[in-house]
Structure 1
Amino acid sequence: MAIDLPLIWAGIIAFAVLAYVILDGFDLGVGILFPFFPEKHDRDVMMNSVAPVWDGNETWLVLGGGGLMAVFPLAYATILPALYAPIIAMLLGLIFRGVAFEYRWRTKRGEFLWNWAFAGGSLLAGFSQGVALGALVQGIPVANRAYAGAWWDWLTPFSLATGLALVIGYGLLGATWLVMKTSGDLNEKARRIAFRACFATIAAMGVVSLWTPFLEPLYLERWFSFPTAVFSIIVPALVLGCFALLLSGIRNKRDVQPFLAALGLFVLGYAGIGISFYPFIVPPSVTIWDAASPDSSLAFLLVGALILVPIILIYTGYAYWVFRGKVDPEEGYH
């Protein structure tokens, strides 16, 4: 039986993007919540909670983007021209927040500037990712194996809605991360924010989910035709289950449960996008197999991926294990 290398690589890229979203999502969320915590001590603890892991989390973004270019060059050459503006905005946001991690500890007089760089960069990166996702979901016109749309096609009410929804979701991840990693008054305030954010996240997911099937006939058929219509029952039921676990974890003052439940919401939302897309990598016209490199290239690259991905997983897991537990407010990682 022949091995379907494009499908295997689509799974690897999808995993890398999901790993980035759920890992970098919470540290972007911490930055998004920065303005809600005006005390310097709280902000120091918040940054220290993600300082050991934030740069490692972004490894998955490099793997996803680099893998897309090498493995699905047609998709890369089509998606990039369509989304130049939000992608550049995302990179600028990530640059500013990355510099803020280092410079904020080096100055007293200019600390407020780096506070805003960290918060603003996190907000810009998260919003831009959501806008790019929304633009991809609504479809990218392709003609003669090239992008056939206009410069501003990415800017629509739907893409703005997905940008706002992702910012809210990242805020929820950030709040539940702080619940898990902090103690005292900071923990209690993060718990209150998480309680409000979980309702806002569910509402945002509901709006985007109900909107999506009507963007493209393919999505409407996928979600409301048998047998894939089964997912229209299973996915919302699992979302409600995660929502219930999230609420109970917050109300019963559990530390880890809210964060895991929030991650569950993101995984289910991502699965919903995958169900809508498959087998297209650039909806609604370019499939995984249309966009893939030759099998010889895919096989060669797969050998490297089978070595590299486990190494990334090992050192990521080790970093989280070393820095497990609550952040000590009297110590810092700077």
Structure 2
Amino acid sequence: MAFDLTTIWAFIIAFAVFAYVIMDGFDLGIGILFPFFEVGDERDQAMNSIAPVWDGNETWLVLGGGGLFAAFPLAYAIILPATYPLIIAMLLGLVFRGVAFEFRWRDPGHRAFWDFAFTAGSLVAALAQGMVLGALLQGIEVADRAYAGSWFDWLTPYTLLTGLGVVAGYALLGATWLIIKVEGRALDHAYRIARPAFVATLILLGAVSLYTPFLEGQYWQRWFTMPSFLFASQVPLLTAILAYALMRALAKRRTYAPFLLALGLFLLGMIGLGVSMWPYVVPDQVTIWDAAAPERSQVFMLVGTAIILPVILAYTGWAYWVFRGKVGSEGYH
């Protein structure tokens, strides 16, 4: 693997995307699970558990999207037109969800509507994110360094499968986050919800993993031919081990282990994605080097990122540290 500025930027953007998925994933998951919690104390605890951090979590989406535009402009120019309806749906879902989050406290007379909006926005955003991933993996038609497909090329059974997989995965993250944060009946409810969310995630993850190698010859070669098979096979093996450990942690009502193990499943999914796609940013069409910005631009942005990224990590860590511990219906205590 050539290790150069372009490779560094590929890992920076991969890190930003992963950070967004795990951080915004659990609060989107709480929105998806919101109808399953009782009106009143349970829902208030769920909302309070993410109130101090939910908007800061979306910083990583800006970094990932902005970094893709700046460091890999050709990839941005191809992927965005191929997935415009999904990107628009995702952003509208995030906006609707954010408005609902604020207004459910300030407009108690219409709280049922705002609760519905919170769930709908979270569900749409999560489904759209998963379908964008599916659209990228199934392939994007490129001609003359531009998107050459139609408006609805992204809509296939495979993208629906990946969309549902992300929804289930976010629900698992949300349930295991609540295990850490809430108490009383809400805690019991979180444990009950986590189990079906875990089962759904495992089934959909397995279905996507079995489907993906048949999409592109490159994927099949990476996963089922030697010598890459020796490395690639460790990913499903470790996934099975983590899945068993997560099942045991839920059965024994552990506090932190379920969330950390769920994060591990997402990390392995990210590694599996890298195994399938590297070094392409648009599979079988555009490599990271084809899509990269000029070297001077990459150097200039890298200096800024070297300053900004530690700041983001510091204030994110500080926020999570300050608001550690359990949360009640009236807030943290």
What TM-score, normalized by structure 1, do the two folds share?
0.97
Residue 150 of structure 2 is matched in structure 1 by 150
CA deviation profile, 1:83-135 (whole Å, cap 9, x unmatched): 00011000000001111111110112111111011000000000000011100
Q: Which runs of 5+ in 1 are unaligned?
A: none
Paired with 1:284 and 1:123, the residues of 2 have a C-alpha distance of: 31
Paired with 2:117 and 2:284, the residues of 1 have a C-alpha distance of: 37
Cα RMSD of the aligned pairs, angstroms, is 1.3
Paired with 1:266 and 1:28, the residues of 2 have a C-alpha distance of: 15
The 5 Å alignment of 1:159-308 reads 159-308=159-308
* Structure 1 residue 40 displacement after superposition: 1.9
Paired with 1:159 and 1:231, the residues of 2 have a C-alpha distance of: 26
Q: Which moved more, 1:191-200 or 1:81-90?
A: 191-200
In the alignment, structure 1 residue 95 sits paired with structure 2 residue 95:
yes
Residue 311 of structure 2 is matched in structure 1 by 311
In the alignment, structure 1 residue 80 sits paired with structure 2 residue 58:
no
Paired with 2:49 and 2:331, the residues of 1 have a C-alpha distance of: 11
User: In the superposition, relative to structure 1, how do residues 157 and 3 fare at CA in structure 2: closer, same or farther (>3 Å)?
Assistant: closer
Paired with 1:315 and 1:204, the residues of 2 have a C-alpha distance of: 35
Paired with 2:135 and 2:27, the residues of 1 have a C-alpha distance of: 24
* Structure 1 residue 233 displacement after superposition: 2.2
Q: Is the 8 A contact 2:325 2:332 kept in 1?
A: no
Name the amino acid aligned to 1:167.
Answer: V
Residue 28 of structure 2 is matched in structure 1 by 28
Name the amino acid aligned to 2:29.
Answer: G
* Structure 1 residue 329 displacement after superposition: 3.0
Name the amino acid aligned to 1:76.
Answer: Y
How many pairs were matched up? 332
CA deviation profile, 1:173-226 (whole Å, cap 9, x unmatched): 000011111111111111011112111111111000000000011101111122
- Which SS does the other structure have where 2:154 is aligned? coil
Paired with 2:156 and 2:331, the residues of 1 have a C-alpha distance of: 45
CA deviation profile, 1:24-66 (whole Å, cap 9, x unmatched): 0000000000011132221111010001001111000000000
Paired with 2:122 and 2:308, the residues of 1 have a C-alpha distance of: 28
* Structure 1 residue 3 displacement after superposition: 6.2
Paired with 1:198 and 1:231, the residues of 2 have a C-alpha distance of: 26
Q: Is the 8 A contact 2:87 2:128 kept in 1?
A: yes
In the alignment, structure 1 residue 108 sits paired with structure 2 residue 129:
no
* Structure 1 residue 332 displacement after superposition: 6.4
- Which SS does the other structure have where 1:109 is aligned? helix
Q: Is the 8 A contact 1:45 1:332 kept in 2?
A: no
Q: Which runs of 5+ in 2 are unaligned?
A: none
Residue 59 of structure 1 is matched in structure 2 by 59
Name the amino acid aligned to 1:49.
Answer: S
What TM-score, normalized by structure 2, do the two folds share?
0.97
User: In the superposition, relative to structure 1, how do residues 268 and 143 fare at CA in structure 2: closer, same or farther (>3 Å)?
Assistant: same
Residue 13 of structure 2 is matched in structure 1 by 13
* Structure 1 residue 331 displacement after superposition: 2.9
Q: Is the 8 A contact 1:17 1:61 kept in 2?
A: yes
Q: Is the 8 A contact 2:169 2:201 kept in 1?
A: yes
- Show structure 1 runs of 4+ deviating over 4 A: none
* Structure 1 residue 330 displacement after superposition: 3.4
CA deviation profile, 1:135-189 (whole Å, cap 9, x unmatched): 0010111110000111100000000010011101111000001111111111111
